[in-house]
Amino acid sequence: MAVQQKHGERQGRMGFDNDFTTEQGQRFTEVANSAVKRRVKKREIEAPFIQSAKQAAFKTVVRPRGNNPNRTRQVVWIIVIGLVSLWLMYMAG
């Protein structure tokens, strides 16, 4: 692998001194500033929507159930029926 010298200037950067005329630099600055202003306005408009979307996304979907006495009664009956069935199989076999 060949060893190369480090690049003296950074790639991707535009130098206003060499690349643009004065008029082009001024137009570029105006366009860039207006783009920043548009982005700020867009964020301000979208902020309430994003907050409401976050609240809707983090809201609990399944409501937690309390200790229902009917459910407890059903569980007890299932256990009783299971034990009786096991006893019947043991006595029959």
pLDDT at 16 (0 to 100): 56
Q: Return d(Cα 76, Cα 83) in angstroms, integer.
A: 11
Q: For 1-93, where are the alpha helices, taking DSSP H only?
A: 16-19, 22-58, 69-92
Residue 14 near residue 20 (C-beta atoms within 8 A): yes
32-67 per-position pLDDT tens digit:
999 999 999 988 888 888 888 888 888 877 776 666
The domain spans of the chain are 18-59
More confident: 62 or 79: 79
Q: What percent of the chain has pLDDT over 70?
A: 78
